[in-house]
């Protein structure tokens, strides 16, 4: 039996899937240094379906600073991913997957669900150059987001 029997014909596809899975695990564990290493130096971030506004290109350091100002304010997070589909063309890759992103403070939960789309570039390793969240629905209250930011700011 070989990996081709499972539909994984391309080692780059596996590495792209690993990069995306690692990112979500690193964020949920609050290992921001590890998460930062998974990005290209500049990242196009599109959360417009969640927050409105426009997509923004920023450095990976700025992106992670924003997450550091929010994520530790939750008691826990869990970004559960579905099957990650990947298409590799040379030194670039496109990937997408369903996501359910749980964020807890006490027993309250905010759960946006939808799909992530990623674009990655290969240097020595695969780095995330763009990420877009397409929200399909939400459970709970977004007020937990401001509460989490306030908790981080007060520490």
Domain that holds residue 129: 3-153
3-state SS assignment for residue 73: helix
Q: Taking a C-beta distance cutoff of 8 angstroms, is the pair 97, 79 a contact?
A: no
Q: Chain-centre distance of CA 125, in angstroms? A: 17
**pTM (two decimals):** 0.91
7-49 per-position pLDDT tens digit: 555 899 999 999 999 999 999 999 999 999 999 999 999 999 9
Q: What is the CATH number of the domain that holds 108?
A: 3.10.450.50
Q: Taking a C-beta distance cutoff of 8 angstroms, is the pair 126, 23 a contact?
A: no
Q: How many domains does the chain have?
A: 1
């Amino acid at each position: 039996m070989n990996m081709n029997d499972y539909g994984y014909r391309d080692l780059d596809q596996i590495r792209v899937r690993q990069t995306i899975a690692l990112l979500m695990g690193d964020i949920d564990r609050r290992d921001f240094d590890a998460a930062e290493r998974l990005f290209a130096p500049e990242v196009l971030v599109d959360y417009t379906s969640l927050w409105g506004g426009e997509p923004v290109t920023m450095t990976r350091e700025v992106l992670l600073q924003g997450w550091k100002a929010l994520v530790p304010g939750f008691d826990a997070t869990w970004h559960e991913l579905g099957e990650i589909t990947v298409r590799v063309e040379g030194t670039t890759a496109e990937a997408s997957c369903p996501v359910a992103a749980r964020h807890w403070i006490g027993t309250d939960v905010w759960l946006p669900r939808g799909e992530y789309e990623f674009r990655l570039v290969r240097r020595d390793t695969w780095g995330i150059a763009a990420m877009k969240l397409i929200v399909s629905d939400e459970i709970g209250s977004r007020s937990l987001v401001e509460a989490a930011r306030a908790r981080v700011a007060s520490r």
